[in-house]
Amino acid sequence: MLTGLGVATRQVRQPGDLVGLDAVVIPGGESSTMSLLAERSGLLDSLADRLGAGLPAFGTCAGAILLGREILDGRPDQRCLGVIDIAVRRNAYGRQVDSFEEPLTVVGLDSPLVGAFIRAPVIESVGPTVEVLSEIDAIDGARQPVLCRERTITVCTFHPELGDDTRLHEMFIESI
């Protein structure tokens, strides 16, 4: 997605890969495994330092879990970075087969964006300084945030890299 928008990208696997970056994307995947591997390589601590110093980040799905303040239903040894004031419950919609797509109204976009929720987490609470940019109707009628931003950190619980709608990536690039 980013390459298509003319942005130079590189994969970040080790602490040294962070040197010189203007921003970082933490993608979907399996947050407990990502936490374990990033902790082992020292990447988690280096990333925490850079994010604390203002490195902008876009966390999608598992990436949102990693960037949040609190993980609900996490593995006991799973860590999070605490750079956006949200509490996130893993796998809150159920199993892989309960994945779904939903048209989303997004603050700043003039037409809906289709979100692909794949074994997605739910953002259960947001702090007072977190902007909610999109939300969906929960089964109990409550509204559930699915796209949030606080200072330099943006997170969403769906996969904006699927399909060919680049608008969220453009928003992120503009925010950098």
Q: Which residue numbers are catalytic?
A: 61, 159, 161
Query: According to the binding rule CB under 6 A, does residue 80 interact with ligand GLN?
Result: no
Q: Which of residues 13-42 bind ligand GLN (CB under 6 A)?
A: 28-31
Neighbour count for residue 53 (Cβ, 10 Å): 8
Contact residue for ligand GLN among 47, 55, 118, 171 (CB under 6 A): 118
CB of 67 to ligand GLN, least distance (A): 12
Binding-residue total with ligand GLN (CB under 6 A): 11
Each residue 36-75 as x (binds ligand GLN by CB under 6 A) or -, in order, gives -------------------------xx--x----------
Each residue 82-111 as x (binds ligand GLN by CB under 6 A) or -, in order, gives --------xx--------------------
The residues near 8 (Cβ < 8 Å, ≥ 6 apart) are none
